Amino acid sequence: MSEYKDQVLTEVQEELKPWERALEYERSIAPLVDIYETENEFVLIANMPGVTKENVHLQLEEGTLTIFGQINYNEDLKRKYILHESIFANYSRSFKLSESIDGSKIDAKYNNGQLTINLPKHDKVKPRIININ
């Protein structure tokens, strides 16, 4: 019975995308995040040190934005630490987005371990000046 269970688990793992497999089977922590608002958008900044741009994944599904950053476990295993205070894990966090955000216009960039996501507001929720005639 255990052999069958192992085979099913292996088949399921093979069907998953690499980031999904890592999310499911590897350790992850929530990245530290700052969010601020401007007149036209919300800006989310997630800190993910040790993650390369190629290993950052964003997904928007049913109003939930998921951030995932995968670290290089093999590199960490090769190191001979004298002192190891930092937590070495993938980064994962999800946010339920407000209906005021225009999901079709979300933009992101990654630089120096920081993921910046611009979440534009729908025009209907932006403040506007009404002229009096």
The answer on pLDDT for 14 being more than 60 is no
- Report the percentage of the chain scoring pLDDT > 70: 80
Lowest-confidence range among 5-19, 24-38, 90-104, 112-126?
Answer: 5-19
Predicted pLDDT of residue 5: 45
Task: List Cβ neighbours of 43 (8 Å cut-off, separation of 6 or more).
Answer: 35, 36, 37, 116, 117, 118, 119
Domain covering 28-125 in this structure, CATH number: 2.60.40.790
Tokens of 102: 């225009």
Can you state the percent helix, strand and coil of the chain, rounding each to 5?
30, 35, 35
Q: What is the pTM of this model?
A: 0.76
Residue boundaries of the structural domains of the chain: 28-125
The answer on pLDDT for 11 being more than 80 is no
Higher pLDDT, 28 or 12: 28
- Report the percentage of the chain scoring pLDDT > 90: 52
Predicted pLDDT of residue 77: 78
Predicted pLDDT of residue 75: 80
CB 125 within 8 A of CB 100: yes
